[in-house]
Amino acid sequence: MKVALFIPCYVDQFYPQVAIATLELLENLGIDVTYPSSQTCCGQPMANSGFEHLTGGCNSLFVKNFSGFDYIVAPSGSCVLHIREHLHDENEPELAKHIAATTYELTSFLTDILKVDVLKSSFPHKVGMHQSCHGQRGLKLSQMTELNAPDFSKPGQLLNLVKDIELVELDRKDECCGFGGTFCVAEETVSVKMGKDRVKDHAKHHVEYITGVDLSCLMHMEGILNRQQSPIKIIHIAEILNGVKA
């Protein structure tokens, strides 16, 4: 199985340890992983701001970088959702479609394709799981509280394989953190208020770490936590699953 690693731009620039954890995690599961070095961004920042018509360059580049693999895997729900829903290429329409359909968010790749049921990692900490909206409601990684449907969680299923981890139940299981792409600066007040409220829910349940599948949400909450000088840290789920010593 040939897998390409798709690392979102802000993860590449600011959270390389998460990309490394993702790479190592997949390698340790015996996967042949390649990181196409000319990758940049999925184009979502422009598209969500109403400028989808400017994403042609990003789309062609994505198709060029990620063709020839069985799967494309990224430690992000949001960027994967954007690729799944919006990747298109006028010159290579079929190829783009194929790439979009074979692009996976990391945890669902582990549960649905690799069917991982054992992990060697241990994380003896109290952890709160942040459900990022694009991963949860967009890619349906976990059941949504609005729906009258059976409960499940792909990231939760994996975290339960980690030794000694203590997952807390939040008051609001799947409320948005307020990051929202350019929303986080265009609607700064509401964005920060949403983030503060999310962080408060985790703090109320005495977590040491907030984890999730999307670093964009975690980065936003980290910014608030650090400003509050809170001892709570953020950690991407790939780092926990890979067994990084905290």
Site string for another protein, 146-185 (x = CB under 8 A): xxxx----------------------x-xxx-xxxx-xxx
**Burial degree of 120 (CB within 10 A; 0-12, 13-18, 19+):** exposed
Q: Please check whether residue 136 is in contact with residue 77, taking contact to mean a CB–CB distance below 8 angstroms.
A: yes
CA angle 234, 15, 158 (to 5 degrees): 55
DSSP annotation of 126 reads E
Query: Considering only residues 41-70, where is the footprint of another protein by CB under 8 A?
Result: 41, 43, 45-58, 60-61
Instruction: Quote the least distance from Cβ 70 to another protein, whole Å.
Output: 16
Most distant CA pair in the chain, distance: 52
Query: Considering only residues 204-233, where is the footprint of another protein by CB under 8 A?
Result: 219-220, 222-224, 226-227
Q: How far is it, in rounded angstroms, from Cα 132 to Cα 183? A: 15
Q: Please check whether residue 70 is in contact with residue 102, taking contact to mean a CB–CB distance below 8 angstroms.
A: yes
Instruction: Quote the least distance from Cβ 146 to another protein, whole Å.
Output: 4
Is the Cβ of residue 117 or residue 188 nearer to another protein in the bound state? Answer: 188
Query: Considering only residues 12-31, where is the footprint of another protein by CB under 8 A?
Result: 12-17, 19-20, 23
Is the Cβ of residue 155 or residue 180 nearer to another protein in the bound state? Answer: 180
Q: Which of 34, 45, 41 minimizes the C-alpha distance to 67?
A: 34
Instruction: Out of 98, 126, 197, 233, name the contact with another protein by CB under 8 A.
Output: 197
Query: Considering only residues 78-137, where is the footprint of another protein by CB under 8 A?
Result: 133-134, 137
Can residue 193 be called a binding residue for another protein (CB under 8 A)?
Answer: yes
